[in-house]
Structure 1
Amino acid sequence: MKSLLIVAHGSRKAESNEEVRQLAKRLQTESNTYTLVSSAFLELAEPSIPDGIQYCIDQGATEVLVLPYFLSAGRHVSQDVPSLVHEKRLEHPEVSIKMAAYLGAAEGLVGLMLETAKQVQCNRCSAKEVCAYPSCIESS
């Protein structure tokens, strides 16, 4: 079974972590490749990356692809996440655990950004002009 694990930084703001979980659910719905799509966090939220990988394995995954949901190759992308993935590889040599490139390296990102920039109306606050996101989001 193939699984995809979306790995984000994690936030003190619960709504931000929930956005990542909802993204994983949307990917699960639209994916023809992965039987399971889940999410995990580097810090500040649960599950942790090792726990997220373990969850995929416990659900029967024989292949786990970790996709870092980061825009640049900072320390987390270049060191922290690979280190945690490597530890799980050593713990589960029978499972293929691989890392995809971080989101910021995706070939289609430039086109996506240009297309997003064309969207004047905010989907969150229905502003007719460019909104001051994230100030349009209700604070908790």
Structure 2
Amino acid sequence: MGGETRTAVILIGHGSRVPASGNDMVKVAERLRSENCYAMIETCYMSRMKPFFSETLKKVAESKVEKVVVIPYFLHSGLHLVLDIPEMIQENAKLFPGLNIVYGKHLGYDDAMVALVKRRIEESDTLDDVRELKLAERSNYPLPKDELEFVPMTEEEAKEYRDSCGSRCHHHHH
């Protein structure tokens, strides 16, 4: 085992207004924890749900591990993965200069993902037509104060919106 016993792992998810949205990531962490391969396995969120990354990194750092591996629990690459999350990690890393913190790859493509998608397709044989789904009420998931809902818009509309609000647009990170 060696270095793994002095290594902590942080899985970071997006966060959502839907409280149960992080349950799958937490289950993955629990399974990893049960294998006792690492000093700690923690979960946190980029926004909207606690715990946030800053408090999770502090907790891990206080446990005297030597290395922290941050794994973004995201399927696809995008702005959060190429800029928002690594920027947040770098900012928080300043508080713990003696700690080795690495930013691992997102879930992305893997042969295991192909098998999982195939399994999901096969499972769909038992599902009803989408028109028969009973959907939750959107009002069950209110927007936090001062946050905007995602609204589909054309590129021209997006440019007008960005020009009107400058750098205040789309920043919901902690």
Q: CA deviation at 1:38?
A: 0.7
Deviations 1:95-135 (A, max 9, x none): 110011011144532233234433x27xxxxxx703679x5
Question: For the pair shown, which has the larger CA radius of gyration, 1 or 2?
Answer: 2
The amino acid across from 1:109 in the alignment is M
Structure 1: how far apart are the matches of 2:39 and 2:120?
Answer: 29
- 2:68 aligns with 64
Partner letter of residue 57 of structure 1? A
Residue of structure 2 in register with 1:18 after alignment: 23
CA RMSD of aligned residues (A): 2.6
Q: Does 1:43 align with 2:47?
A: yes
Unpaired runs of at least 5, structure 2: 1-5, 141-174
TM-score scaled to structure 1, two decimals?
0.78
Q: Of the candidates 89, 111, 115, which is equivalent to residue 111 of structure 1? A: 115
Q: Number of paired residues?
A: 131
2:49 counterpart of 1:52 = no
Structure (1/2) with the larger helix percentage: 2
Deviations 1:60-119 (A, max 9, x none): 22111000011111111111110011112222121110011011144532233234433x
CA distance, structure 1, for counterparts of residue 34 and residue 135 of structure 2: 26
Could you report, residue by residue, the CA deviation over 1:19-61 in whole angstroms, capped at 9, with x for unpaired residues?
A: 33232112211352x1211101000101111221111112222
Specify the alignment match of 2:127 in structure 1: 130
Specify every segment of 5 or more residues in structure 1 that has no aligned partner in the other structure, as ranges: 122-127
